[in-house]
Structure 1
Amino acid sequence: MNSSASAVRARIARLFVYPVKSCAGVEVREALLTETGLDLDRAWMVVDGEGRFVTQRQLPRMALVRPQIRHSEVVLRAPGMLALHLSIDSVEEPVKVRVWGDEVAAYDMGAVAAQWFTDFLGQPLRLVRFDPEQRRLSDARWTSGAEALNQFSDGFPLLVLGEAAVDELNGRLGAAGHAPVGIERFRPNIVLAGLPAHEEDRAARMTIAAAEPVELRLVKPCGRCPIPNIDPATGEVSPHVLATLMQYRRNDLIAGKAAFGMNAIVARGVEQTLRVGQQVDAAAD
């Protein structure tokens, strides 16, 4: 943290929920905080014929699947496709699926959803919903043993990123003759304004001024895969984005990947509502 203070003050600038893992996010003004992160975040996932998860890493066109959250349903749209309506409260057949090294219980969303994704992405796929009875834990090596639940996220309930980090990256991209990129490429849940670049890296906890205090613990730098290279507007790949990050954000703590943003877990405040504009105090332990 800054040497002149033990804490820095910021505010929530933007909030994003990603209903279907690796599809586009939904920007919201407020979101309910649950044990597994923001409500409906990574509640659905696309799997192949063997039940293994697929992402933009293999299928960049997943970025073009754009959800909308309505009162009782999530509506998916994609170029050239009719809208797919998913009832939030309806599932079909129980199944087992794999996300990274975890086998988890889920529910298949049926033939119509499967055909929709198969047609758009060009290979046999199915859509599944996370089983709320399943306890999928974040890596205890990073949570100091705390049991932190998540659904189909890569490993932790929340991703926090400061606007200034993206501004700094865009300065470097511009100096190299590249166009700026939007924060959407980095798929944060909570975007902070008012922090110096990468100050979130130095925070161990964040207190958010909701109706009752919310405390998040920032536990692990987010090691970046090639997904930030994918333009969320077009699905086209631009390798210079990750290459630029690797020039100045390589982190040996995460196997030499580029660190950009912090994974967070929920220490207190489940069932509180996070809103754009809320004050955030970020502090080191």
Structure 2
Amino acid sequence: MSYTPIMHCGAVANREQDNNYQNRWFLIDTNKQSIPSDTPKLSDIQVEIKFGYLAIRAPEMLRLDIAMDVIEDDEGAFEQVMCEGQECRAVSEGDLAAQWFSVYLGQEIRLMKKV
């Protein structure tokens, strides 16, 4: 069994699917649109779950760990963005994650979590 916590990235293998996390995270561009599945190098990003964190790896990059269950209580942190053509409410996973994905994919990107 496997599932994909980050939309269009590598699947988490050998783990029972948790529907709370299936495609919960996604990547957006500067226009607040989710990036397409055919974005170069996107399929090379691998995701594991370790001790409540997404452990994200890509060739020639250090591992990036993102806490899975952070409770957002600051209404100012929420944004309306487009995910696969649908408007959704999401929160950014921060500057470090944005920098990591931007460097690897060669374009300005932010990692968002649906809320």
Aligned residues: 111
Letter in 2 for 1:56: S
Q: 1:115 aligns with which of 81, 99, 105?
A: 99
Deviation at 1:29, TM superposition (A): 4.1
TM-score in terms of structure 1 length = 0.37
Change (3 A) 1:80 1:26: same
In the alignment, the residues of structure 1 paired with residue 64 and residue 53 of structure 2 have an alpha-carbon distance, to the nearest angstrom, of: 10
Q: 2:42 aligns with which of 62, 67, 70?
A: 62
Letter in 2 for 1:40: Y
Which structure's residues are more often helix, by fraction? 1
Letter in 1 for 2:36: T
Q: RMSD over aligned Cα, in angstroms? A: 1.5
TM-score in terms of structure 2 length = 0.88
Is 1:71–2:40 an aligned residue pair? no
Q: 2:82 aligns with which of 76, 98, 104?
A: 98
Is 1:21–2:2 an aligned residue pair? no
Q: Conserved in 2, the CA contact under 8 Å of 1:91 and 1:107? A: no
Q: Conserved in 2, the CA contact under 8 Å of 1:20 and 1:42? A: yes
Q: Which residue of 2 aligns with 1:45?
A: 26
Identity %: 29
In the alignment, the residues of structure 1 paired with residue 56 and residue 24 of structure 2 have an alpha-carbon distance, to the nearest angstrom, of: 14
User: Mind listing any 5+ residue stretches in structure 1 that lack a counterpart?
Assistant: 1-14, 33-37, 132-285
In the alignment, the residues of structure 2 paired with residue 91 and residue 127 of structure 1 have an alpha-carbon distance, to the nearest angstrom, of: 16
In the alignment, the residues of structure 2 paired with residue 80 and residue 29 of structure 1 have an alpha-carbon distance, to the nearest angstrom, of: 26
Deviation at 1:55, TM superposition (A): 2.7
In the alignment, the residues of structure 1 paired with residue 69 and residue 2 of structure 2 have an alpha-carbon distance, to the nearest angstrom, of: 21
| Rg (Cα) greater in structure | 1
